[in-house]
Amino acid sequence: MYNLVIYLYQLGVIVTSLFSEKVRKMWRGERNAVRYLRQHVDPQARYVWFHAASLGEFEQGRPLMEQLRREHPEYKILLTFFSPSGYEVRKNYEGADLICYLPLDTITNARRFLRTIRPVMAFFIKYEFWYNYLHILKHRGVPVYSVSSIFRPDQVFFRWYGRQYGHVLKCFTHFFVQNDVSRDLLAKLGINNVTVVGDTRFDRVLQIKAAAKQLPIVEAFIEVRGKKSEVRDANKPKVFVAGSSWQPDEEIFIPWFNEHRDWKLIIAPHVIGEDHLQQIEKQLEGRQVVRYSSLDNQEKQENLEKLSNADVLIIDCFGLLSSIYRYADVTYVGGGFGVGIHNTLEAAVWDVPVIFGPNNERFMEAQGLKACGGGMEIQHADDFRRIMQQFVDQPESIAEKGRQSGAFVQQMTGATQKVLSNVNLK
């Protein structure tokens, strides 16, 4: 049944690729993967294979790859992606020796791929359970590890109709899961080769924090004192950073800032398109708004003149958000009124309170932030107003909730070392 579904899926991909550039890139990349490997594989090397579905899973696997590379340079690293949103962004990542798409999980593709690369071990990040690849790896005696995986009772493995497919879980040498619930669910299937280590993303956000950029334009906007200081005058306006926001998020927080003009507002929307940017600007009634890109290529004096009159800065480019959070007093992470919240850890690591929408139950880090007090869930605009009014009335609560956020991130780090300490790399 599984193989029938895969072939039907493949047919759907072929048809969809005729109309979608994104799907066409994926389909072309999958077909060319084995040819690429045959041309570039070093037959004398020992390859460790990391597979990440997309960009988020790559970020979880990245600390492992980089520590493995530092401590065991005798191995080479193969990195594969399933989604173009991962491959197209990280196809030039210097931490791997070979990077390509993973061919679709047919028996023929899996045999051809594994015969070409001959990995000595494999790491599958979070939600990756490819039936044919995993069974062939097990048959060949290749150790396979599931890293930062998380399981829930509603997943197919734990339903009566999914028990047959659930046998794929027994192909793994070891599971490094995020929480006790995942360990207990696997135990019900008779799988006990499990260690609770947490999520490697906590290690990753510490790396991101250490590599954060100084952003002179943002510093000028929020009126930071000194050339490289991050200390603002206590009498200056507080700063609210909204990261990865969508329209439903913006419709909640923008009206509050239209009424409270003593705050500086930085918005880094998830979708950077002219229509969306104009929509945001239209909501900011009478505010002095500037776009980051309008300042980035101008003379310093022109920038300062624009920034001196502005109280809203829109980040209309990618790659800055994780560094921008460092300048916030309070943060908001978008997506919680849609498919799910974005990366709350990138904000929390800077010791700031984090506000987010209700679709967060699948995100362990959001649950942890709520439990420690550093994260606050809102259901609607009234919740947002209540939280912000508390910060206005009790400004000391901003620092307290920020400390709780930062402490939570710090106490959850260490998963990378726990994984590699339990893997035979000799």
Q: Please provide residue 305's backbone torsions phi and psi, each rounded to the nearest 5 degrees.
A: -65, -45
The pLDDT tens digits for 237-275 are: 899 999 999 999 999 999 999 999 899 999 999 999 999
Q: What is the pTM of this model?
A: 0.84
Amino acid identity at 305: E
According to the model, what pLDDT value does residue 425 have?
79
According to the model, what pLDDT value does residue 227 have?
36
According to the model, what pLDDT value does residue 226 have?
40
Helix-strand-coil percent breakdown of the chain, rounded to 5? 50, 15, 35
Strand 263-269 relative to strand 312-314, pairing: parallel
According to the model, what pLDDT value does residue 72 have?
95
According to the model, what pLDDT value does residue 107 have?
93
CB 107 within 8 A of CB 28: no
Alpha carbon distances (Å) from 132 to 70, 355, 376: 31, 42, 42
Q: Please provide residue 112's backbone torsions phi and psi, each rounded to the nearest 5 degrees.
A: -65, -45
pLDDT less than 70: residues of the chain: 7, 9, 13, 27, 224-235, 296-305, 426
According to the model, what pLDDT value does residue 296 have?
63
According to the model, what pLDDT value does residue 411 have?
95
Instruction: Supply angle C-alpha 374, 376, 380, rounded to 5.
Output: 165
Task: Give the end-to-end CA distance of the chain in Å, rounded to a whole number.
Answer: 39
The pLDDT tens digits for 272-291 are: 999 999 999 999 988 899 99
According to the model, what pLDDT value does residue 304 have?
67
According to the model, what pLDDT value does residue 13 have?
67
